[in-house]
Chain A
Amino acid sequence: MNAKHATYPGAFHPLARLLHWLMALLILTMLFVGVGMVSTVSEKHQWLLALHKPLGVTIFVLALIRLAVRWRHPPPPLPADMPLLMQWVAHASHWVLYALMLSLPLVGWAMLSAGGYPISLGGSWHLPPLLSFDGETYAWLRVTHRWLAYLLFVTVLGHMGAALYHGLIRRDDVLPSMTFPRRETVVVEPVIVTPTASEPPSSEPPRV
């Protein structure tokens, strides 16, 4: 077990929790903005489109920060009594989520580049093209963007369903670890009083 685990045993680091809920809001917004803007012919089309691109950049940057936070403060382990297959699905779905958080904005950026579009983030602020102008590449990337987005939405649904399963059916520590960690999980850790993440504790603290 990594020593940094011990700082927040049984729960995600507060910064990780903040990033999780902020990104949950942004990603859900993004998915609805995306699927709505390609369908509507109303004036909503324009402002949704204007929102979609800077939001994508924000999610990409936050996902990178989140990976760094995760590396620095590894998440708590899953309950040991969870079936192995369930543990495997839990881990795999999290890496799918990270992969999609990073790849969807990049595919979107590449797709607009290949379509020869200006990649406007608002005002005169533009991203440089990632690829050269080519309609056929655009078509492949545009369709990829759509299916990756559907995959992200389905993974988010599964993630939410699994979180509620942990919270309502198993009633284990998984959901509180990302929301409000149970007091008894936290207070037994003396390290929590002075959360100096950069200083690894001198020895492995006692386990609960």
Chain B
Amino acid sequence: MTDPSRQPPSNQPWRWALIGLAVVVLAGAFAYVAGWLTPQRLSSRRLVDTLQEGGGVHPGFRRNHAKGVCVVGYFESNGEAASYSTASVFAAGSRTPVVGRFALPGGNPYAPDSSVPIRSFALRFALPHGEQWRTGMNSMPVFPVATPQAFYDQLVATLPDPATGKPDPKKAGAFFASHPETGAFLAWVKTAKPSASYVTETYEALNAFYFVDGTGKRHAVRWKVTPVATDDAGTGPQAGDPDYLAKDLQQRLAQGPLRWHLRVTLAEPGDPTNDATKQWPADRHTIDAGTLVIESEQPQDSGPCRDVNYDPTIVPEGIAISDDPLLPARSAAYAVSYLRRTSEEAHLPGAARATTPSEHP
């Protein structure tokens, strides 16, 4: 199939240059979008690298909220939230299976339970037809910062000083001074004490979301779970026992299931949905949407929560994420942490070597 009219092959350099340019421009655009040309840009990898710098690399463990325990139960809806959200989890009388996880913030899976006054509670609701609702809540009323960049700056400012092993008070002080939005959190944390139990805490979603009702109308909401158990007496922290929370949970569950109410607060016009450092006024209408019942617990290294990424942007139809900038950053960073720890479990080439927790002190 030769074409007699064809021009002889040209070796004009500009033709080669044009081809090279096209390839280089496309490859360059790809590298730019991937973030390879701009290492100073805040990326999900950089956030998790910085978390690791603070908490150390503990193969197989989450890069934050590394110490925790798996729990299993269900959510029983009373139908109160059904007029605000079409999510099947809120239909009256529906019962949705839940796999949850209690944890401590921080990257050290062996941190003593008394080392931080914050506990966290993550839940994965398994709805019919493959839908899921995942949420990660903390036992504090506000988040220290409002944006991913400020969160990153806070991480860097509070990294342990190699000389002392503790954050440099000057750097940390300078960060908080230049970030007045941290004021509400700092005021709270000053009086907060490490609780003796996971089960007596209220856990707040902190980020705002939308409930979407049957007419398609969106309602800005924040949710939290409030405990039925309020006796902090329980077993009480044993002196010198760094793992009293898991034992307390085990003992309480041996006596029967544990319950929380899922409370959903509805925003009024003007309440911020994009700022987790600000509480909404206390008089906002709050619905009790139903009861979360926890029936059993399992260690996290063998329990059903181990390989769950509690990405708070995974929501069912009837719930939508808000414009809170922390939400996409949490989603992106959790995915990086999830891939790193599952790669370590699977002994992928290049992954940090996983060891069993018992090999650590």
Contact = CB atoms under 8 A, between A and B. Distances in A.
Asked whether A and B interact, the reply is: yes
Interface of A: 10, 31-32, 35-46, 49, 77, 79-81, 115-120, 123-124, 126-129, 133-140, 142-143, 153, 157, 160-161, 164-165, 168-173, 184, 207-208
9 contacts: A38-B335, A39-B43, A118-B130, A136-B346, A160-B22, A168-B10, A168-B19, A169-B9, A171-B7
Contacts, number: 156
Q: How large is the interface on B (under 10, 10 to 19, 20 to 34, 35 or more residues)?
A: 35 or more
B42 A41 contact: yes
Interface in B9-58: 9-11, 15-16, 18-19, 22-23, 26-27, 29-30, 33-35, 42-45, 47
Interface string B172-188: 00000000000000000
Closest 6 CB pairs of A and B: A135-B307, A136-B346, A126-B130, A124-B317, A139-B342, A41-B329
B192 interface: no
Contact of B328 (A36, A41, A79, A168): A41
A39 B10 contact: no
A44 to B, nearest CB: 7
Contact of A40 (B27, B29, B43, B323): B43
B101 interface: no
A32 B307 contact: no
Nearest to B330: A41
Interface of B: 1-3, 5-7, 9-11, 15-16, 18-19, 22-23, 26-27, 29-30, 33-35, 42-45, 47, 129-132, 148, 306-309, 313-314, 316-317, 321, 323, 325, 327-329, 331-333, 335-336, 338-339, 341-343, 345-346, 348, 351
A165 B11 CA distance: 11
Nearest to A142: B339
A39 B19 contact: no
A41 to B, nearest CB: 4
Contacts of A128: 130
